[in-house]
Amino acid sequence: MRLLEGVTEESYQALRPFVAALPVSGLGINVNTASAQVLQTLHPDLNAAQVKAVIDRRKEQRFENIKDFLALPQFSGLGLKPEGLTLQTRFFEVVARITYDKRVVHLISTDYRDPEGKVSTLHRDTGQKNQITKAPFNILEG
């Protein structure tokens, strides 16, 4: 994205949480996990209150099919199509920081779950040290 004309560092950082470069195409937006900001991009007439209602509904019960998602009253009359929408996530980023005997190791893995459910690691990176933003979870040896 940074190589695209007009993309500034500020715009890149604003878009970064919502964009992914993946080694396959056609995966779509997972309607069961997409953020409010991503769902609001489905149509220019969607407002924040409508998207919040969709997310509140999703918290009660996940969508089992795209047809039910598109049938929500918040999408009535918008003409949304199922293309580009999905119910599953195929790619995951796993971020770990391990501290042992005063040594710290950072590991970021990109994993892929195929349609049959088999998970494979596509990439590992030990060079990124600032990826973890949550407090550490400690496991004490007993």
pLDDT single digits (tens) 58-103? 999 999 999 999 999 999 999 999 998 999 888 888 888 888 888 8
pLDDT band at 130 (very low <50, low <70, confident <90, very high): low
Residues 6+ apart with CB under 8 A from 136: 97, 99
Portion of the chain with pLDDT greater than 70, in percent? 88
8 alpha carbon, distance to own chain's centre: 23
Per-position b or e across 16-55, b if 16+ CB within 10 A of its CB: eeeeeeeeeeeebbebeebeeebbbebeeebeeebbeebe
**How far is the C-alpha of 86 from the C-alpha of 30, rounded, in Å?**
5
Name the more confident of 45 and 115.
45
Share of the chain above pLDDT 90, in %: 45
DSSP string, 43-73: -TT--HHHHHHHHHHHHHS--SSHHHHHTSG
Confidence class for position 134, pLDDT limits 50, 70, 90? low
How far from chain centre, in Å, is Cα 81? 20
Q: pLDDT at position 76, please?
A: 93
The pTM of this model reads 0.70
- Per-residue pLDDT at 136: 57
Domain segments of the chain as ranges: 23-86, 91-125
3-state secondary structure of 115: coil
Mean predicted lDDT score pLDDT of the chain = 86
CA pair distance 78, 47, nearest whole angstrom: 12
Contact (CB, 8 A) for 98 and 107 = yes
105 CB-contact burial (10 Å; exposed 0-12 / middle 13-18 / buried 19+): exposed
Q: What CA–CA distance (Å, rounded) separates 138 from 79?
A: 49
